[in-house]
Amino acid sequence: MRAVAILAALTGLAAPVMAQEVGVYTLYRSDPVDRLAAEHVATFDTRQGAGANSETCLTVAGLLEAQPENDRRYWCRPGRVAEGGATD
């Protein structure tokens, strides 16, 4: 019974943290030398939610790729950048 109470308490503490991650989008770019590498550019986490964050991320990615001097690839992924950097 005590284990169930501890598990319920831990789940209750983790739920708000997990809820904050829903709707977050992160923008990445390739490295000009290593085109398979993923570099973190920006994270979009507004109160407007997943739709607005995704749309903004995709818009920024498109604008950056459209620059004539651009030699990188840009893309968006749901969630925050992985701990320790962004690599594929």
| pLDDT tens string 38-75 | 999 999 999 999 999 999 999 999 999 999 999 899 99
pLDDT over 90 at 76, yes or no: yes
Task: Flag whether the pTM goes above 0.85.
Answer: no
pLDDT over 60 at 88, yes or no: no
DSSP secondary structure letters along 36-79? T--EEEEEE--TT-HHHHHHHHHHHHHHHHTSTT----EEEEES
